[in-house]
C-alpha cells in the first residue's frame, strides 16, 4: 500500500524545497542490504517522477517481525533509515 500526501508543509535541511518522508513496513524480509536497495530504488522514483532530490528525503524501515531481543522494545539502527540513495 502506498499513500501520498501532497502539499504538506515540510522543511528539510533548512529549506522548503521539495522533500519527502516515508515509512516502509514489512512483515519479515527487511535487512540492511535490502534496505539499501529499496532506498536506492525509491530515491530514483522520487527524483524522476516527483523532482525530489535524493538528498532531500528520509525513509524509515520497520520490519514488524521483531527479533527476539526487540520483542518488548523498539530498537532502531542506522540501517533502518534511508537517505541520499542509501542508508546511514
Strands lying side by side in the sheet with 57-63: 20-26, 57-63, 81-83, 86-87
State residue 60 phi and psi, 5-degree precision: -100, 125
35, 65 contact by CB (below 8 A): no
Tell me the pTM: 0.72
Within 8 A by CB and 6+ apart from 59, the residues are 21, 22, 23, 24, 38, 39, 42, 81, 82, 83
Instruction: For 1-47, write each residue's pLDDT tens digit.
Output: 678 788 888 888 888 889 999 999 887 888 999 999 999 999 999 99
Give the torsion through C-alpha atoms of 60, 62, 68, 70, to 10 deg: 50
Amino acid at each position: 500500500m502506498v499513500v501520498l500526501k501532497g502539499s504538506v508543509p515540510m522543511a528539510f535541511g533548512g529549506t522548503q524545497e521539495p522533500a519527502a518522508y516515508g515509512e516502509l513496513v514489512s512483515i519479515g524480509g527487511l535487512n540492511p542490504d535490502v534496505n539499501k536497495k529499496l532506498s536506492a530504488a525509491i530515491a530514483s522514483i522520487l527524483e524522476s517522477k516527483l523532482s525530489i532530490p535524493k538528498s532531500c528525503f528520509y525513509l524509515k524501515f520497520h520490519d514488524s517481525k521483531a527479533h527476539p531481543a526487540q520483542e518488548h522494545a523498539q530498537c532502531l539502527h542506522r540501517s533502518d533509515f534511508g537517505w541520499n540513495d542509501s542508508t546511514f
